């Protein structure tokens, strides 16, 4: 592999001149430029980025860390990140943790070793809060959609608790009394703080509306498709279905619906189901799934903006963006028209047909 020296020698100039041609920064005589370009062409030379990055002490790359790319939810967020990043000359690289601490640490290391200029985390379960705190303090890191235990870390997302309140409120307004919940388990509680906050909001609404929340209707199965499937299997074994179920993720809602179908129940005929995230599948599925929409693209954009600010040495901040209830086919109202109910803020409610 050729280096800048080889090019310089071949063009009969110094390495500095080659570098100048390469970066188009300073003024170079037209003829010299041509010579250099010819040499570059002849040797099929391309500069070594490691040398360049070392000298400049920056890589113009940022890392986005998520659990797995099979999680549909992240796609639009990443798009927002990428668009904003491109505007500022940054390249976005994605790393997946698959919920392994070991892998997560590897990505941390990449930040510490300065192999990327910063990172956006959407999959967290940090080793320890104090460690997370130190890292986000010391390095340009922002979190998106998965809130950190410690609120001081730069963060972009929605108000998960309020969003869950609005979702539960919507189900209540439809006249449902016995409402079940699919949420993260004990283990996931540490991992996915969002699920915990959603559970909290849900419980409050039930309480405020004087509705009992049966222990048997709470399924701590996690947030995946299979989580929903398992919940359905347990559900059909019990006597009588809930009127409705609030799943803390679309994937779980889908698994629930599908498995209920397999067992001979229909949605929303026998039971209403509500999801969370407004993933592509929630719209595409039959029946399409009523859900809570997050402004994913916007979250991505703002996360990137926050990161750029951090890279520039500014302080981080915490931004909560508005959410929205999307009414689709998987829920139905037991009343002629929904009446007012406790806990619902002025969240937009839109109706979309898949």
Partner DNA sequence: CTATATGATGTAAACGATTACAATATACCG
Partner DNA sequence: CGGTATATTGTAATCGTTTACATCATATAG
Q: Which residues bind DNA (CB under 7 A)?
A: 1, 3-5, 12-17, 19-20, 22-23, 25-29, 31-33, 45, 47-48, 50-52, 54-57
- Please state the closest distance from residue 34 (CB atom) to DNA, in A: 10
The radius of gyration of the chain from alpha carbons, rounded to an integer in Å, stands at 26
Q: How far is the CB of 32 from DNA (least distance, A)?
A: 3
Residue 301 structure tokens? 């954009």
Beta-bridge mates of residue 218: 181
Smallest distance from DNA to CB 35, Å: 8
In whole angstroms, the minimum distance from the beta carbon of 208 to a second copy comes to 35
Q: What DSSP assignment string belongs to 169-206?
A: HHHHHTT--SEEEE---HHHHHH-HHHHHHHHHHHHHH
Contact partner at residue 42 from DNA, a second copy, none, CB < 5 to 8 Å by partner kind:
none
Question: Do the Cβ atoms of 142 and 135 come closer than 8 Å?
Answer: no
In angstroms, the CA 259 to CA 238 distance is 15
32 binds, among a second copy, DNA, none (CB under 5 to 8 A by kind): DNA
Minimum separation from the CB atom of position 42 to DNA (A): 15
Q: Which does 333 bind (CB under 5 to 8 A by kind): a second copy, DNA, none?
A: none
Reduced to 3 states (helix: H, G, I; strand: E, B; else coil), residue 328 is coil
**Cβ-based nearer residue to DNA, 17 or 249:** 17
Shortest Cβ 293–DNA spacing (Å): 44
Closest approach, Cβ 10 to DNA, in A, equals: 12
Q: Which does 3 bind (CB under 5 to 8 A by kind): a second copy, DNA, none?
A: DNA
Of the two residues 90 and 126, which places its CB atom closer to DNA in the complex?
Answer: 90
Interaction partner, residue 241 (DNA, a second copy, none; CB < 5-8 Å by kind): none
- Report the b/e string of 73-108 with b at 16+ CB within 10 A: bbebbbebbbebbeeeebebbebbbeeeeebbeebb
Report the DSSP pairing between strands 324-327 and 291-293: antiparallel
* DSSP reduced 3-state for 100: coil
Of 97 and 191, which has the nearer Cβ to a second copy? 97
> In angstroms, what is the minimal distance from the CB of 304 to a second copy?
15
Neighbouring CB atoms inside 10 A of 308's CB total: 20
Give the C-alpha separation, 18 to 3, whole Å. Answer: 11
Angstrom distance (rounded) from CA 254 to CA 249:
9
Among a second copy, DNA, none, what binds residue 340 when CB lies within 5 to 8 Å by partner kind? none
Distance separating alpha carbons of residues 271 and 336, to the nearest angstrom = 17
Residues of this chain that interact with a second copy (CB under 8 A) are 1, 44, 46-54, 57, 59, 61, 63, 68-70, 72, 74-76, 78-79, 82, 86, 91-96, 98, 103, 106, 109-110, 112-115, 138, 225, 254-255, 258, 261-262, 280-281, 284-286, 354
Q: What is the DSSP string of 187-254?
A: HHHHH-HHHHHHHHHHHHHHHHTT----GGGEE---SSHHHHHHHHHHHHHSSS--SEEEESSHHHHH
Q: Which is nearer to a second copy, 96 or 162 (CB)?
A: 96
**Cα–Cα distance, 40 to 15 (Å, whole number):** 12
Partners of 157 in the beta sheet? 320
Q: Which is nearer to a second copy, 166 or 250 (CB)?
A: 250
First vs last C-alpha separation in the chain: 54
**Can you read off the two tokens belonging to residue 221?**
């199965």
Residue 63 touches which of DNA, a second copy, none (CB < 5 to 8 A by kind)? a second copy
Q: Which is nearer to DNA, 25 or 351 (CB)?
A: 25
Nearer to a second copy, 275 or 338 (CB): 275
* Least Cβ distance, residue 261 to a second copy (angstroms): 6
Q: Which is nearer to DNA, 25 or 340 (CB)?
A: 25
Cβ closer to a second copy: 89 or 151? 89
């Amino acid at each position: 592999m050729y280096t800048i020296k080889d090019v310089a020698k071949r063009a009969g100039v110094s390495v500095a001149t080659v570098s100048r041609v390469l970066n188009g920064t300073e003024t170079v005589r037209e003829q010299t430029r041509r010579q250099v370009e010819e040499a570059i062409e002849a040797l099929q030379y391309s500069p070594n980025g490691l040398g360049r990055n070392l000298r400049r002490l920056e890589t113009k790359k940022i890392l986005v860390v998520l659990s797995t790319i099979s999680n549909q939810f992240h796609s639009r967020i990443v798009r927002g990140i990428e668009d904003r990043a491109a505007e500022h000359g940054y390249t976005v690289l994605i790393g997946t943790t698959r919920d392994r601490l070991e892998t997560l640490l590897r990505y941390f290391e990449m930040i510490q070793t300065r192999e990327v200029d910063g990172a956006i985390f959407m999959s967290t379960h940090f080793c320890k809060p104090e460690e997370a705190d130190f890292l986000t303090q010391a390095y340009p890191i922002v979190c998106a959609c998965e809130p950190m235990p410690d609120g001081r870390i730069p963060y972009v997302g929605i108000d998960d608790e309020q969003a869950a309140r609005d979702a539960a409120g919507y189900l209540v307004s439809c006249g449902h009394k016995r409402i079940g919940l699919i949420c993260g388990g004990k283990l996931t509680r540490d991992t996915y703080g969002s699920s915990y906050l959603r559970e909290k909001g849900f419980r409050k609404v039930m309480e405020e509306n004087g509705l009992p929340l049966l222990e048997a209707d709470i399924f701590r199965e996690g947030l995946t498709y299979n989580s929903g499937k398992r919940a359905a299997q347990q559900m059909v074994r019990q006597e009588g279905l809930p009127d409705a179920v609030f799943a803390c993720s679309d994937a779980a809602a889908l698994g629930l619906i599908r498995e209920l179908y397999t067992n001979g129940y229909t949605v929303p005929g026998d039971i209403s189901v509500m999801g969370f995230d407004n993933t592509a599948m929630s719209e595409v599925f039959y029946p399409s799934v009523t859900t809570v929409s997050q402004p994913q693209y916007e979250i991505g954009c703002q996360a990137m903006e926050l990161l750029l600010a951090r890279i520039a040495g500014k302080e981080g901040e915490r931004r909560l963006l508005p959410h929205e209830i999307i009414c689709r086919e998987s829920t139905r109202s037991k009343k002629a028209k929904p009446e007012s109910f406790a806990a619902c803020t002025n969240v937009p409610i839109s109706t979309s047909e898949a």
